[in-house]
């Protein structure tokens, strides 16, 4: 990517950001401009130019976003917990098999 | 020997029980407290680690005393495995405590650890229990190992009430409960007790599962080793 191309990419992104209504900005206050929010980096060439999804979250996504995204953490913790349960149950089965084998020996 | 059917029943109950506890721990409403915010939910996970460690240490010292009286191999290895799982819960307790303290006591600083009296004394407690395993590994003779490490374990257990309950309350600590037991005092919201007490029971059940697995493994190992020795003699 040449410098000119990069500069134009940045401009497009900034235009898109300016067009998007800022949620954080107070009325009458200017939203922080440029890439200060860390979204745009030189590595973002693929996603930066694509359209930021604007559709309303629905279904599972909406559930995960509720309560400051707390339910996402719950989902992660439950996945880990079920993984551990599966592992414990598997170890039990292996022990059962070995115990039977040892009883016959 | 451990009855498989009873074990399965308790194990599966603990699985369901803890799944409900974890879910409720995230979903139930909690009082909005400054600084703590959502980390108050750590009460359901961090504090039961210590209750579970205490319970595991009681199981361990029970079998050590039993070993001193009966001199059997099984109670020695039960004492060792209970202490092992106790240490696991202790390390998880101290690690989760460090993370929790970072965002509350030490928020806005670069401090992670500051030798708070409570943290210092539990760190010593974990070293006391680690020494039990160092001691165990230093014997070739299993009878000698059983007897001396059982005696040490009785000592290790007697330090626990002082290091976990007495000492931290004599000193100024950032940890709650310096004036009494935090779990049973007024400062715990009744809504949170609905999850907190079941969490303690659930984690103790989890200890029991892990401990039983380890004991089964050790008994098997013992049986295989004995057979091997007999075959070769």
Domain that holds residue B137: 4-231
Within 8 A of A92 by CB-CB distance, chain B residues are: 7-8, 11, 213
A7 or B52, which is more confident:
B52
CB contact under 8 A, B220 and A98: yes
Within 8 A of B11 by CB-CB distance, chain A residues are: 88-89, 92
The predicted-structure confidence for A70-100, as pLDDT tens digits, reads as follows 888 898 899 999 999 999 999 999 999 999 9
The residue of B4, B26, B45, B85 whose CB has the most chain A CBs within 10 angstroms, and thus the best one to mutate to test that interface, is B26
The predicted-structure confidence for A26-58, as pLDDT tens digits, reads as follows 444 444 444 445 555 666 666 666 666 667 777
Of A74, A85, A88, the CB nearest to B23: A74
- Rounded CA gap, B130 and B149, in Å? 12
Distance from CA of A21 to the nearest CA of B (A): 29
Of A68, A74, A85, the CB nearest to B15: A85
Within 8 A of A99 by CB-CB distance, chain B residues are: 216, 220
Helices (H), chain B: 4-27, 46-70, 73-103, 117-136, 142-161, 167-170, 190-231
- A13 has pLDDT over 70: no
- Rounded CA gap, A46 and B61, in Å? 61
**Distance between start and end Cα atoms, chain B:** 27
- A60 has pLDDT over 50: yes
Q: Consecutive 10-residue runs of chain B (233 residues): their mean pLDDT?
A: 81 97 92 84 93 96 97 95 96 94 87 89 96 96 95 96 83 70 61 92 97 95 90 78
Number of domains in chain B: 1
Residues B182, B165: contact at Cβ < 8 Å?
no
Residue A10's pLDDT band, with cuts at 50, 70 and 90, is low
ipTM metric: 0.77
CB contact under 8 A, B11 and A92: yes
Instruction: Give the pLDDT of residue B34.
Output: 81
Instruction: Give the pLDDT of residue B96.
Output: 94
Please give the distance of CA B115 from its chain centroid, rounded to a whole number.
21
CB contact under 8 A, B223 and A91: no
* Rg, chain A, Cα only: 25
Task: Count CB atoms within 10 A of the CB of residue A4.
Answer: 8
Which residue in B has a C-alpha nearest to residue A99's C-alpha?
B220
Instruction: Give the pLDDT of residue B81.
Output: 97
- A23 has pLDDT over 70: no
């Amino acid at each position: 990517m040449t410098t000119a191309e990069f500069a134009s990419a940045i401009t497009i992104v900034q235009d898109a950001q300016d067009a998007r209504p800022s949620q954080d900005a107070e009325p009458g206050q200017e939203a922080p401009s440029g890439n200060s929010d860390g979204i745009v980096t030189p590595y973002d060439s693929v996603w930066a130019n694509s359209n930021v999804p604007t559709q309303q979250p629905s279904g599972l996504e909406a559930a995960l976003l509720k309560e400051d995204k707390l339910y996402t953490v719950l989902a992660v913790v439950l996945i880990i917990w079920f993984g551990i349960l599966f592992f414990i149950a598997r170890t039990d089965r292996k022990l059962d098999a070995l115990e039977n084998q040892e009883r016959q020996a | 020997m451990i009855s498989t059917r009873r074990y399965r029943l308790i194990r599966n109950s603990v699985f369901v029980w803890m799944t409900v506890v974890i879910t409720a721990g995230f979903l139930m409403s909690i009082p909005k407290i400054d600084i703590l915010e959502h980390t108050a939910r750590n009460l359901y996970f961090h504090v039961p680690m210590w209750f579970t460690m205490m319970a595991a240490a009681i199981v361990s010292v029970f079998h050590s005393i039993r070993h001193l009286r009966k001199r059997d191999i099984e109670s020695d290895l039960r004492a060792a495995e209970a202490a092992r799982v106790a240490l696991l819960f202790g390390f998880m307790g101290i690690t989760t405590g460090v993370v929790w303290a970072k965002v509350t006591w030490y928020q806005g600083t670069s401090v992670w650890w500051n030798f708070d009296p409570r943290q210092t004394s539990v760190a010593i407690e974990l070293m006391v229990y680690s020494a039990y395993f160092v001691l165990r590994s230093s014997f070739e003779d299993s009878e000698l190992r059983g007897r001396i490490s059982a005696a040490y374990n009785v000592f290790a257990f007697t330090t626990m009430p002082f290091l976990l309950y007495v000492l931290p309350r004599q000193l100024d600590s950032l940890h709650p409960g310096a004036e009494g037991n935090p779990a049973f005092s007024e400062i715990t919201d009744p809504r949170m007790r609905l999850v907190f007490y079941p969490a303690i029971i659930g984690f103790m059940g989890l200890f029991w599962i892990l401990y039983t697995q380890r004991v089964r493994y050790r008994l098997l190992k013992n049986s295989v080793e004995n057979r091997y020795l007999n075959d070769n003699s």
